Amino acid sequence: MSNFFKPADFKDFDEAPAPQQLPDGSYEPVLTKEDLNICSRRMCLMDTVSYSYATQNAPCAAFSAYYALRKIYGSDEDAFNTAMLNQLDCVFNATPPVSGLLLGAGLAVEDRGHLGGMEAENDLKVGLMGPLSGIGDVFIWILPMTILGSIAGYMAMQGSPVGILLWFVLWMAILGWRMQNYNQGYSAGAQVITNMADKLNILTDAASILGLTVVGSLIYSAIKISTPLTFQYGDISLALQTGVLDAIFPNLLAVIAAVVVYRLIKKGVKLNWIILGIIVISCVCSAFGILG
């Protein structure tokens, strides 16, 4: 287990080799695939757990890179200390499962440039964390939530765990990919993130089509509102729900509710007030027999 989060060949300052400077002023890169995989695994332990108002998520990045930095600076404890404090102090915040791409690219700069490359590494991290999170939020949170989350949620409401298991399996695949993402970032550098942003636009649109189709179906099937009101014209009685509303559009009240709540959120009404409002309206309508 110790080799899972810590390199097997870890050496303390007094045993580690001194960094090898090349004639052009850069350094011989020392990080191996395994070193970077360890960074990825360490990131899985942390994600956003150290998020604070001080340097946001920087401590998590520092924790992940700890053994990689120890290896880069070898016996040079002063340089390591400077680099470590820099990791802690350089503001960082990106979608956790993909942040390894960017942090790996940063380590590639530091592996060659050492303290001289630190400035470039910081600029890289701060400059690209926004775009990377934009991609990450869509592909890691919003799309799985729409498609897998809604299938899981809807099937669970019907009493079936199949959707839950489907989501679980696919999430494990993402975790598997995460376990090596520092390597991808390290070898591809900053370019991969910039390229990704261009290519992924079409993919995001395509996935949105799938997501919206699913949401459209769930507005009909997962929201339950109906009214027991009945109109009486002499001998003829007309049930408002089955006779009028369903004849216009099936589950029309759910569609109206979706449009109203969507507008309210767009206008910036706090979600908690909307939830309370729904509960209050439900109680009032229940008391007067308008809904049921």
Partner 1 sequence: MTINALQFILIVLLSGFRAADMYSTQLFPFQHALMCWVAGIILGDPNTGLVVGGTIQLMSMGAAGLGGSSAPDYGMAGLVATVLACLAGTDDISVGLAVGVAVAMLYVQLDVLFKIYNSWVFKVIRSHAAKREYDKMLHSFFLSHVYLFLQGALPMAIVLAFGQSAVDAVLAFMPAWFTGGLTIAAGILPVTGFAMLLTFMPVKKFYAFLIVGYVLSAYLGLTVLPIALLGGAVAIEYFRLKSSTTVTTAAISENGGELEDE
Query: Minimum CB separation from partner 1 for residue 88, in Å?
Result: 5
- Looking up tokens 């340097």 gives 55
**92 has which bridge partners?**
56
Q: Report residue 23: phi and psi, to 5°.
A: -55, -35
Stretch that binds partner 1, among 14-22, 115-123, 235-243, 281-289 (CB under 8 A): 281-289
Q: How many CB atoms lie within 10 A of CB 269?
A: 13
CB within 8 Å of 160: residues ≥ 6 apart: none
Contact (CB, 8 A) for 101 and 184 = yes
Candidate residues 20, 21, 48, 187; the one interacting with partner 1 per rule CB under 8 A = 48
Query: Minimum CB separation from partner 1 for residue 191, in Å?
Result: 20
Candidate residues 3, 160, 194, 195; the one interacting with partner 1 per rule CB under 8 A = 160
Touching partner 1, residues 72-111 (CB under 8 A):
77, 81, 84-85, 88-89, 96-97
Site residue total, partner 1 (CB under 8 A): 99
Told to check if 169 binds partner 1 by CB under 8 A, we report no
Give CA–CA dist 11/15, Å, rounded. Answer: 6
Q: Report residue 233: phi and psi, to 5°.
A: -115, 95
Give CA–CA dist 142/149, Å, rounded. Answer: 9
Instruction: Tell me whether residue 65 or residue 190 sits nearer to partner 1 (CB atom).
Output: 65
Told to check if 265 binds partner 1 by CB under 8 A, we report yes
Query: Minimum CB separation from partner 1 for residue 116, in Å?
Result: 21
Instruction: Tell me whether residue 66 or residue 177 sits nearer to partner 1 (CB atom).
Output: 66
Query: Minimum CB separation from partner 1 for residue 235, in Å?
Result: 30
Q: How many CB atoms lie within 10 A of CB 170?
A: 13
Instruction: Tell me whether residue 188 or residue 261 sits nearer to partner 1 (CB atom).
Output: 261
Residue 23 DSSP label: T
Candidate residues 79, 115, 240, 261; the one interacting with partner 1 per rule CB under 8 A = 261
